[in-house]
Amino acid sequence: MQSTSHLPPGESPFTLVLVSPQIPPNTGNVARLCAVTGCKLVLIEPLGFSISDKELKRAGLDYWDKVFLKLYPSWTAYVEASPGARRWLFTARAGNGMWDTGFERGDHLVFGAEPTGLPQEVLQGGFGGLTTIPMLDERRSLNLSTAVGIATYEALRQTRGRVAP
């Protein structure tokens, strides 16, 4: 198999969804990740900052014009706007690790707020499968932008060369 250091051109491979993110630089870093991978970015309010915040812009300033960003006022509004989306809800408490998750192009990768993770109503709402990033026991979590980066590149690795249905 031939290896390449570039992603294939084409339709957005994934949608990265941040539910109520609180820390501007983390969201800026995820926006930069979206710009370089072609993923779409969804932010679900309430946000812990304004998307015009200086820190947020600093984290991804030269990339914001390359990010497809959609803002939703609530989880319900997002779900209603994308009823057929295949979602993976990332939580430290899932039994299924992301290496065993069969990602497909077009999937929505959903992450919770920095201090709290995804709300119970999202985790138990039936709108996505649960998965986790494997880590050592008795560790609480990873930094949000780190977790999103790890998950995105694992999903890209799994789906390399495959197209969404």
At position 157, the amino acid (one-letter code) is R
Give CA–CA dist 26/51, Å, rounded.
12
Question: Is a pLDDT exceeding 70 seen at residue 38?
Answer: yes
HSE on the CB side for 83, CA within 13 Å? 1
Amino acid at 132: T
Q: How confident is the model at residue 62 (pLDDT cuts 50, 70, 90)?
A: low
Q: How many structural domains compose the chain?
A: 1
* 4 within a domain of the structure (yes/no): no
Q: What is the pLDDT of residue 1?
A: 40
Interatomic CA distance for residues 136 and 106, integer angstroms: 30
pTM above 0.85, yes or no: yes
- Is pLDDT at 12 greater than 90 in this prediction? no
Of the listed ranges 8-12, 41-45, 131-135, 151-155, the least confidently predicted one is: 8-12
Does some domain include residue 165? no
Domain hosting residue 150, numbered range? 15-159
Residue 34, in any domain of the structure:
yes
Does 101 fall in a domain? yes
133 within some domain: yes
What local confidence, expressed as pLDDT, does residue 165 receive? Answer: 45
Residue 154 is inside which H or E element, if any? helix 144-159
6 belongs to a structural domain: no
Band (pLDDT 50/70/90 cuts) for residue 34 is: very high
pLDDT of residue 93: 78
Confidence band (pLDDT; 50, 70, 90) for 2? very low
- Pick the closest to residue 90 from 123, 138, 57, 60 (CA basis): 123
Q: Are 31 and 58 spatial neighbours (Cβ–Cβ below 8 Å)? A: no
Binning pLDDT at 50, 70 and 90, where does residue 141 land? confident
14 SS3 class: coil
User: Is position 2 within any domain?
Assistant: no
Provide the CATH number for the domain around residue 120.
3.40.1280.10
What pLDDT, on a 0 to 100 scale, did the predictor assign at position 164?
Answer: 47
In this structure, are residues 145 and 116 in contact, taking their beta carbons and an 8 Å threshold?
no
**Residue 130 falls inside a structural domain:** yes
Q: Are 103 and 154 in contact (CB under 8 A)?
A: yes
78 vs 62: which has the higher pLDDT: 78
Distance CA 109, CA 107 (A): 6
Judge whether residue 87 has pLDDT over 50: yes
